[in-house]
Chain A
């Protein structure tokens, strides 16, 4: 299995809703990432998990809450989002953040989030 699977593919939520995005990989990767991509822009890093521990938070607002329950799963919990948070949310994984990152990241196909 060489894929990163993200669910749901599309999500529409109100500003008072609570929802979660899910990401799963079975490649044995020990680093997982959340990126946010606005239309016609490059992906921007939000969070990094290394060996199930949060290692980087790129000053993301607290209405985004990541969770890594085990080495294969990564969640992003959403609460009280704003319309400007509408974007494509991409999950990625890589072999090991502490080692040589020679194999790059494997990306999922993303969750298209619309906040209304």
Chain B
């Protein structure tokens, strides 16, 4: 089954610094890829998605991600971190080409982002 691997369970940055959260997928056929954010005691909010239309995807709150087939990666970045960005971030995948009931959204293990003042 297709999966995603998030490198680093915890990333800590200073306010104003670059945010880089890593995600790699495991398949020869590029899947649909998503980044979700979860604030404490809340549900998940979609940040952005890759669905083969464009390799550089812009999302909400200043986040963007670049799909790189050669590296099987879909890393999430933000040029300047804000305190309000502190949250858990999940990379997720839906496999392509499977059809029907195999369209299951599966999550990576998550990366906790802390932002220091």
Contact = CB atoms under 8 A, between A and B. Distances in A.
Interface of A: 4, 6, 33, 40-43, 45, 48, 50, 55-56, 90, 92, 94, 97-98, 100-110, 112
Contacts of B34: 104
B45 interface: yes
B103 A97 contact: yes
A33 B44 CA distance: 13
A30 to B, nearest CB: 12
Given A45-B106, A97-B103, A102 B44 contact: no
B41 A42 contact: no
B54 to A, nearest CB: 12
Contacts of B44: 43, 90, 92, 107
Contacts of B17: none
Interface string B82-117: 000000001000100001110111111110000000
B51 A42 contact: no
Nearest to A3: B43
A8 to B, nearest CB: 14
Contact of B101 (A42, A48, A90, A105): A48
A42 B110 contact: yes
Contacts of A100: 51
Contact of B105 (A40, A102, A104, A112): A104
A55 B109 CA distance: 25
B90 A42 contact: yes
Given A101-B94, A109-B42, A109-B43, 8 more contacts: A42-B108, A45-B106, A97-B100, A101-B103, A101-B105, A104-B34, A104-B46, A110-B43
16 contacts: A33-B105, A41-B110, A42-B90, A43-B107, A48-B104, A55-B101, A90-B43, A94-B105, A97-B100, A97-B101, A100-B51, A101-B105, A102-B51, A107-B43, A108-B43, A109-B42
Contacts of B41: 112
Nearest to B35: A104
A100 B96 CA distance: 9
Interface string B4-39: 000000000000000000000000000010101000
